[in-house]
Amino acid sequence: MVRENEIRDNEVRIEAPERTDASLIFIGRIHTPWTSRLECPRQGRADGPACRIEIFEPWVEALDGVEIFERLEVLYWLHKSRRDLVKQSPANDGKTRGTFALRSPVRPNPIATSIATLIRREGNSLFVRGLDCLDGTPLIDIKPDRTLFTPIAPPQKGDFEVGDETSSC
Amino acid sequence: MVRENEIRDNEVRIEAPERTDASLIFIGRIHTPWTSRLECPRQGRADGPACRIEIFEPWVEALDGVEIFERLEVLYWLHKSRRDLVKQSPANDGKTRGTFALRSPVRPNPIATSIATLIRREGNSLFVRGLDCLDGTPLIDIKPDRTLFTPIAPPQKGDFEVGDETSSC
């Protein structure tokens, strides 16, 4: 069963600082078949239902050229998630793991990333498969899948640097 | 050459709404060999120099268990990037593409995602390869690589749903 807002046995909650370091703006909205957190997939599947990513103005022009990519990386904001757990018990059995060792929606900055398969573009909408979020989820970003993208800008010095066993910062 | 703040031929700038929809908190800092945008790699490489991801309190406990993953997905905030271009010319040759068809740091919400290879953990620090960001870049999130992670929570109805050719939202 998904978490609503409860804290489970042995989970650890922290008091997050009240400061804000950066601000996001929602650039669109994701339409999916799932209206309850009790139905959402844990992970999207490449053969899952088609979902629609709607882009708001003034960002629609930024879709130009996106159709050439078979897969897109989609970033979205998990607006229903609490942000204050550092240890979690996904199976609700008292066994916990750190938040950074999980892909749980509960995180200090609740941003999800998925690789979606592009079906087609229609105007300000992209139809895709592979998402796992609630209907109405706010969109943060879309990028070409990293494995399909080659930088267009000329390479820089850092592109050729490799590390040795001992190098570190 | 990387962009400093100039707008290039045929690039399209928009007036972004002034509203803020969500807030981020920086949970750590990334230490890399690159102190200038003229040196940074365009894309991180798995055999690149070791970089150090420092986690701030109160989030250090959230690292518990992260060592079992060979690769981690790292999200960071591109604090030097402008956010108002919807069409860009990465090669500075007058040819433009939409921002969502690029992995450029210039985006409405300038969040980068990388897959980093974990070398080791030392206390509040993770040593990794594969990053491509400036020294001092703010950290937003760390997750296990999606290809290495199996949800611990029991599956839900959505995990078994597949789409057909015509389904859409």
Q: What is the pLDDT of residue A168?
A: 60
Confidence check: pLDDT of A42 > 90: no
Q: Looking at the predicted complex, does its ipTM rise above 0.90?
A: yes
CB of B169 within 8 A of CB of B154? no
B62-95 per-position pLDDT tens digit = 999 999 999 999 999 999 999 999 999 999 999 9
Confidence check: pLDDT of A165 > 60: no
* Per-position DSSP letters for chain A, written without gaps between them: ---SS---TT-EE----S---EEE---EEEE-S--STTTS-SS--TTS--EEEEEPTTSGGGGTTGGG-SEEEEEEE-TT----EEEE-TTSSS--EEGGG---S-SSS-EEEEEEEEEEEETTEEEEE-----TTEEEEEEEE-GGG----SPP-GGGG----SS---
> What is the rounded distance in angstroms from the CA atom of residue B50 to the CA atom of residue A148?
25
Closest in B41, B108, B168 to A27, CB measured:
B108
Q: What is the pLDDT of residue B111?
A: 98
Q: What is the pLDDT of residue B49?
A: 93
B119-138 per-position pLDDT tens digit = 999 999 999 999 999 999 99
Contacts of B100 in chain A (CB under 8 A): 55, 59, 62-63, 66, 72, 141-143
- Cα–Cα nearest to B119, from B48, B168, B70: B70
Write the Ramachandran bin of A66: left for phi over 0, alpha for psi from -120 to 50, otherwise beta.
alpha
Q: What is the pLDDT of residue A159?
A: 86
Q: What is the pLDDT of residue A169?
A: 64
* Closest chain A residue to B158, measured at CA: A41
Average pLDDT score, chain B:
93
- Tell me how far CA of residue A57 lies from CA of A39, A127, B100, B101, in angstroms: 31, 18, 14, 17
> Which of A13, A100, A160 would best serve as a mutation to test chain B binding (most B beta carbons within 10 A)?
A100
Confidence check: pLDDT of B167 > 60: no
What is the pTM (predicted TM-score) of this model? 0.94
CB burial readout B66-105, b (16+ within 10 A) else e: beebebbbbbbbbebbbeebbbbbbebeeebbbbbbbbbb
A67-108 per-position pLDDT tens digit = 999 999 999 999 999 999 999 999 999 999 999 999 999 999
